[in-house]
Amino acid sequence: MNHLDIADYVVFFIYFIAIAAYGYYIYHKKKTTSSSAKDFFLAEGSLTWWAIGASLIASNISAEHFIGMSGSGFALGLAIASYEWMAAATLIIVAIFIIPVYLKNKIFTMPQFLSKRYNDQVSTIMAVFWLLVYVFVNLTSIIYLGALAISSISPISFEWSIVGLSIFSMVVTLGGMKVIGYTDVIQVLVLIFGGLITTYLALSLLSREYGFGEDIFKGLSILRKEAPDHFHMIFDSSDKYYKELPGLSVLIGGMLINNLAYWGCNQYIVQRALGADLNTARKGILFAAFLKLLVPVIAVLPGIVMYVLHNKGLFVTEMSDAGVLKPDHAYPTLMNLLPAGLKGVAFAALTAAIVASLAGKANSISTIFSLDIYKKYFNKTASDKKMVNVGRWAVVISMLVAAIVTPSLKSLDQAYQFIQEYVGFISPGVLAIFLLGFYWKRTTTAAAMTGALITIPLSTVLKFLPVWTNGAFPDYPFLDRMAIDFVVIVILMIMISLSKPQKIASENAIEVDTSMFKISTSFAIGSILIMGILTALYTVFW
């Protein structure tokens, strides 16, 4: 079944040509400024609120959602949607309390903030951490899942899928942030439209298999009836998947820490808003929060559909690899069931998600490497043209490294959880350093250095200590480990700061005042609406 018909190729090439042509148009529209470093890395002042919001979502949603989250939907159910729905609430917090700090202090990269607030050593350590995570966890997992999906639904081999995705992503990224931002508008339209079509057809297929014709509402009721255990948002300690999503930690514990670090202290994400004014940035982030509410519909529901069909005895072979059930095969198996033409739409949607996310991460890698490592340590007088060229080479090299490492991930069952856990090794330390740096003027450089250096060792110890002690030490869920890490690091940083006070030089001070946190009436209304929807969802599916 892993083939595409002529209609599918036609649909896909229309998408490919549209992206290429629009990207070329955007790149040449303001060619006179294309050699500017800020224009290349940040698209300074060029992105509208809808472009910012679309770019945030297009860069965030990738194969890890279509493939990885659907796989987790197959295994865990709707509870995995907490990553998306709680992200919508987190985006509101970021828009009100974090983005204004960056914009007021003219912060363009996360290491730049660390350098300004603390010193170059803290900045460089975290820059290296970010580069390693972006290349060896983010890029590799996205390429792996994308190649897995493409090779499952087309005649293209896994290896050639890796090559194709890497090259396509590099081409988009080399045009700079402006090209990424505006092509992401098309990408997000394609991925949401294609994703909704796939979900619609999945529910129709389920309804048909149970003898009710192609009635999607009947399909939804069948899901609730046949998989009631897959429609709970909060697991208790007796549930076999409690370690994946530990109870209330998905609301107020490690999930919040994970989301705040990702959406508020992550170059790859925050970069989209750093070139805009505050009002435009906030509108874009709120738009992204609304789009976030849709993600479980296109990423989690198909996985639950495949779970019900698999339990009915269907697609057992397709869902297995060497006789072992592979939840991450759920979405590719479903895509193979789509009719000609619509399969091309779903294929384009998946490709759009993968390419947009890869391009966004590669651009952030080039930004951090060029501005925070190359210019700082290798060529302090580098011209804008030189910086842009270095950034482009950073894109090419990082993508090549990721493509070479990608095949080593073939042993994963749920890649989405792999990404969340290992990115979470640095998230608690990052969030502690940033929040204390924003809001507590007494935080010292020594405290920040401690936080930077201890975050990975502490995460590693908490993960492996139960094994090393033969179970004598509790084996905490990784979200709970993140919460413990965060609390320990914050306490240590406060103790160090109080024990050896440091006077912060005026040029290192971060300007924060309450007027920065005032919001418009329209933003308040949108935020209340989002929180109301989330309250209703968690009440119904608790």
pLDDT per residue as tens digits for the range 423-477:
778 889 889 999 999 888 889 999 999 998 898 888 888 888 888 888 778 878 8
Q: Which range (103-117, 254-268, 285-299, 343-357) has the least confidence?
A: 343-357
Mean pLDDT, residues 227-241 taken together: 84
- Both 430 and 294 in one domain: the answer is no
Q: Which range (106-120, 288-302, 320-334, 454-468) has the least confidence?
A: 320-334
- Residue 326 is predicted with a pLDDT of 72
Residue 418 lies in a domain: no
| Model confidence band, residue 370 (pLDDT cutoffs 50, 70, 90) | confident
Q: Which range (37-41, 82-86, 314-318) has the least confidence?
A: 37-41
- Residue 432 is predicted with a pLDDT of 93
| Model confidence band, residue 183 (pLDDT cutoffs 50, 70, 90) | low
- What average pLDDT does the chain have? 81
- Both 353 and 306 in one domain: the answer is yes
- Both 289 and 437 in one domain: the answer is no
pLDDT tens per residue across span 43-95: 455 678 887 888 788 777 776 677 777 888 888 888 888 889 999 999 999 99
- Residue 492 is predicted with a pLDDT of 95
- Both 147 and 241 in one domain: the answer is yes
- Residue 495 is predicted with a pLDDT of 95
* CATH number of the domain where residue 524 is located: 1.20.1730.10
- Residue 93 is predicted with a pLDDT of 93
Residue 294 lies in a domain: yes
- Residue 501 is predicted with a pLDDT of 85
Sequence-ordered list of residues with C-beta below 8 angstroms from that of 528, at least 6 positions apart, any chain: none
Mean pLDDT, residues 409-416 taken together: 62
Mean pLDDT, residues 111-126 taken together: 86
CA pair distance 382, 428, nearest whole angstrom: 34
Query: Hey, what are 13's tokens?
Result: 């090439």
Is residue 253 a contact partner of residue 46, using CB atoms and an 8 Å limit? no
| Model confidence band, residue 130 (pLDDT cutoffs 50, 70, 90) | confident
Q: Which residues pair with residue 325 across a beta bridge?
A: 320
Residue 350 lies in a domain: yes
Q: At what angle do helices 342-367 and 140-153 cross, to 10 degrees?
A: 160
- Residue 180 is predicted with a pLDDT of 63
- Residue 213 is predicted with a pLDDT of 80
Query: Hey, what are 356's tokens?
Result: 């947009």
Mean pLDDT, residues 237-263 taken together: 83
Q: Is the pLDDT of residue 530 over 90?
A: yes
Residue 419 lies in a domain: no
- Both 261 and 388 in one domain: the answer is yes
CA pair distance 18, 16, nearest whole angstrom: 5
Residue 1 lies in a domain: no
pTM of the model: 0.81
- Residue 532 is predicted with a pLDDT of 95
Q: Is the pLDDT of residue 276 over 90?
A: no
- Both 83 and 170 in one domain: the answer is yes
- The residue length of the chain stands at 542
- Residue 175 is predicted with a pLDDT of 60
**What domain range includes position 474?**
424-511
Residue 463 lies in a domain: yes
- Both 332 and 447 in one domain: the answer is no
Q: Is the pLDDT of residue 29 over 70?
A: no
Q: Is the pLDDT of residue 247 over 90?
A: no
| Model confidence band, residue 323 (pLDDT cutoffs 50, 70, 90) | low
- Both 353 and 273 in one domain: the answer is yes
Q: Which residues pair with residue 324 across a beta bridge?
A: 321
Q: Is 62 helix (H, G, I), strand (E, B) or coil?
A: coil
Nearest to 497 by CA among 430, 447, 450, 439: 447
CA dihedral 138, 139, 145, 148 (to 10 degrees): -160
Is residue 118 a contact partner of residue 509, using CB atoms and an 8 Å limit? no
**Measured in Å, how far apart are the chain's first and last C-alpha atoms?**
38
- Both 299 and 352 in one domain: the answer is yes
Q: Which range (100-114, 454-468, 503-517) has the least confidence?
A: 503-517
- Residue 506 is predicted with a pLDDT of 63
Is residue 477 a contact partner of residue 253, using CB atoms and an 8 Å limit? no
Nearest to 47 by CA among 189, 192, 177: 177
> Higher-confidence residue: 274 or 304?
304
Is residue 290 a contact partner of residue 526, using CB atoms and an 8 Å limit? yes
- Residue 285 is predicted with a pLDDT of 92
Return the ∠ at Cα 462 (arms to 457 and 465), rounded to 5°: 105
> Higher-confidence residue: 40 or 396?
396
Query: Hey, what are 46's tokens?
Result: 């060029």
> Higher-confidence residue: 462 or 317?
462
CA pair distance 57, 47, nearest whole angstrom: 14
CA pair distance 294, 287, nearest whole angstrom: 12
Q: Is 197 helix (H, G, I), strand (E, B) or coil?
A: helix
> Higher-confidence residue: 194 or 320?
194
Mean pLDDT, residues 177-203 taken together: 74
Residue 478 lies in a domain: yes
| Model confidence band, residue 306 (pLDDT cutoffs 50, 70, 90) | confident
DSSP 368: I
- Total structural domains in the chain? 2
CA pair distance 80, 203, nearest whole angstrom: 19
- Residue 32 is predicted with a pLDDT of 40
Residue 160 lies in a domain: yes
- Residue 33 is predicted with a pLDDT of 44
- Both 397 and 523 in one domain: the answer is yes
- Both 209 and 348 in one domain: the answer is yes
Q: Is the pLDDT of residue 480 over 60?
A: yes
Q: Is the pLDDT of residue 142 over 90?
A: no
- Both 227 and 210 in one domain: the answer is yes
